[in-house]
Structure 1
Amino acid sequence: MNLKELKCEPFVSKAQAIVFGRDGLVLESDNTLFKMKKGDDNVFSKIYFFQGMEEIVFALEDSDELKFNCISIDLLGHDSHFDFRVKKISTDTFCLSVYDFSEQYERVFELQQERNLRDISSKKLERENRRIQEENEVINRLYKQMSQSGTSEFVLLKSDNLLVNVDFKNINYFEAYGDYVKVYTDAKMYIIHNRMKNIEEELPPGMFVRIHRSFIVQINKIKNIEQMSIDIADRILPIGRQHKAQLLNQIKQL
């Protein structure tokens, strides 16, 4: 059995096999981790972890083995985590196998640090998501309350997760935009997630009129009415044939 075979844990990159006799003197060593001089060094005196263990080691039967795992010590000037294996290989011959787990422990430490950073980021995201959820719940509750109040002079427009309080008098017109509606005011344009039918039902009666399947306008904002179009807020909007009568009828009521 050679020294390489005595190092029986191939997944450890740093390992050393030391063969010694009953007197503790080194018979052979591959000196991978530290130098052990043949015939001069004694494993029980040079490796202080084994000091006073002669009786236990020499009591081993053939092929018996002692194991000491995960020992954190400064071994001959090399601070690391070590595993030790002592095995009797013949009547008066023993082998001490030393396994240095520094690389593995360093990687474990790096992985733990990465895990800690991920946990911190995850908790931060959880807090942010909770905050956004709470804000959305408040926005939805206020929006629902305002939507149910048909007599209000103001409306809360929910746009980009913000609630914008808009006076109905400042709204020029609404334009259908797929599953959304564009709301044009004196100041700016907002995009809200809603349907024109719902908008029409929630508007103050007599203040707005639908002139086209895609447009609802505020009557007071209309500048001119042509044959099939109106001029409002510096824009020409079409009048749908089925909506012209309603437009003219509401204007007559003013």
Structure 2
Amino acid sequence: MNALLIDDDNLSRAVLRKLCDKLPDVRIIDEFSNAIDALKYLNTNKVDLIFLDIHMPNFSGFDFINTLKNPPNIIFTTSDKDFAIDAFQYECIVDYLLKPIQFDRLEKSIKKAKNKQVQIITEEEKVTEKKETLFVNVDKRLVKINIDDISIIEAKGDYVKIKTKENSYIVHSTLKKVLSKLPEKIFFRVHRSYVINITQIIDIEDNSVLINRDVIPVSRTNKGELLNRLNLL
């Protein structure tokens, strides 16, 4: 699991990083002394786990969680035992570790985080399996489309254009609604007007992707997340 450390205390971060180095299931990819900088990092990067202090200047750990739309798994690391009940009100909280952190206690927390991550992936796969086909209303007919065949969905005013390798369908709907019916693993909104099937990308150049013979624009704000989803060498 790729993880972040967020703690305003340099010594606490150093100690936790050293402990994590002994665990094969977690890798610290970056660390921050304040939550604001961590939020900026997460705008363009994805992590599996965050070690988060509670008491930090200007922006607390709770402020940080409340700002995130889809927080990853989080382990609180703090010297304050008084906020444990409040912490576990959040679904993303895996554990609550009191400083000084003991290795065996940390090891148990990492195991919890790993088990929770496996559970989330399994649930997502079950949802994906259920969504194999999509019925669209075209000229008063319900047409069945294999979801894997969909390559591009383009917004066109009050309609969307759904493209496969063989056909195109104009449907009275919105990108947001269509995207909610598709598996998140393979469909990604690269631009306010486009959703793509990332498994059908042929080429990426600057701020565009090539799918079949179509060149699709990618917004700068979404490019980082798109690259995170791909299997880069």
User: With CA pairs under 8 Å and 6+ residues apart, which has the higher RCO, 1 or 2?
Assistant: 2
* TM-score past 0.5 threshold: no
Given the two structures, how large is their TM-score scaled by the length of structure 2? 0.43
